[in-house]
Amino acid sequence: MQRLLVIFFIIFIVSSCAHQPVGVRHGMSSAAAGVGHLLLSPLQIVAGIAEGISALPYYLSTNLHQVNNALEKAQSRITIAETYESAYQLNFNDKNSSQSSAQRFKTMQQASTYFQRILQAKGVKNSHYYYLTSIDSANAAGYTLFAVIYRPYSKINIMDRYGKVHTYTKNNRLFYEPHYQDASGRTLDTVIDWAGLARQSIHSQKAQALLLTLASNAVIQQKRSPEYWQIEARWLQGEYPAIMQQRQHDIEKKLYNN
């Protein structure tokens, strides 16, 4: 009798496993950070550049030297090695360069400083007017909406929802949020690229170097993302899960020919 029960139990377990769909995805963890286990081929590494900063999670499990080699062979305008040299003043081939935690940014002001160094080294005109920005409304849930912008001003006047005007400079945190227009109705920001990312996915220097490299290439390629303003409105309304899942679907379709 005991042997019969064991046989029935084994059959039940096998049957249950057989009904689990292959490649099943698990909500937001998949949309944000669950793709980090995938290794990219050289062709996929290069293709990811065209997808901009939203492709960052797909690079995380690929060796950074492999990423750099693929970009160099494809003659990418900005490689990982150039990011380390320009942004961090580090030799990428130095075995200790990727271990330098002091080089990680913690604010968008710090990130923009690194970003502008790369663009300046590449001879980008008005490089000091390009910024990395963020919308932090979903930070508590673990997600941030990033945008690469061009804003030809160092001081801006912004009207809040209550009609009060605030002046922000590069020393103010809210300067590093995207702003469609100023208090007078003048258009401010041109959005180059954007991405909704899991906060845990951008803590390492490796991830941040990838972010800076992808963002810099987006500028060089003269990418534009006018759809950002609709995305931001939806993000602020709490639709970030749907936004990130749709973006993940779009990127995977291009990288993996799904």
pLDDT tens per residue, range 33-77: 445 557 899 999 999 999 999 999 999 999 999 999 999 999 999
Which whole number is the average pLDDT over 10-19?
Answer: 41
Q: Which residue range(s) make up the domain with 184?
A: 30-256
pLDDT at 252 over 70: yes
Which whole number is the average pLDDT over 188-198?
Answer: 98
List, for residues 133-147, the tens digit of each pLDDT value.
999 999 999 999 999
**Is the residue at 236 inside a domain?**
yes
Q: What is the pLDDT of residue 39?
A: 83
Q: What is the pLDDT of residue 30?
A: 47
CA distance 41 to 38: 10
- 191 CB-near residues (< 8 Å, 6+ apart): 147, 148, 149, 178, 224, 225, 226, 228, 229
**Is the residue at 21 inside a domain?**
no
Q: pLDDT band at 1, cuts 50/70/90? A: very low
Residue 205: both structure tokens together: 């220097």
Q: Residues 229, 127: contact at Cβ < 8 Å?
A: no
**Is the residue at 8 inside a domain?**
no
The structure's pTM equals: 0.85
Give the number of domains in the chain.
Answer: 1
Q: Residues 122, 78: contact at Cβ < 8 Å?
A: yes
**Is the residue at 11 inside a domain?**
no
**Is the residue at 173 inside a domain?**
yes
List, for residues 177-188, the tens digit of each pLDDT value.
999 999 999 999
List, for residues 226-251, the tens digit of each pLDDT value.
999 999 999 999 999 999 999 999 99
**Is the residue at 85 inside a domain?**
yes
Q: Residues 133, 180: contact at Cβ < 8 Å?
A: no
CA distance 3 to 6: 5
CA distances in angstroms from 97 to 42, 61, 194, 200, 215, listed in the order given: 23, 18, 28, 21, 21
Give percent above pLDDT 90 in the chain. Answer: 78
Q: What is the pLDDT of residue 13?
A: 41
**Is the residue at 15 inside a domain?**
no
pLDDT at 20 over 90: no
3-state SS string for 169-208: ECCCHHHHCCCCECCCCCECCEEEEEEEEEHHHHCCHHHH
**Is the residue at 128 inside a domain?**
yes
CA distance 118 to 132: 13
The amino acid that residue 218 corresponds to is A
Residue 83: both structure tokens together: 């990011």
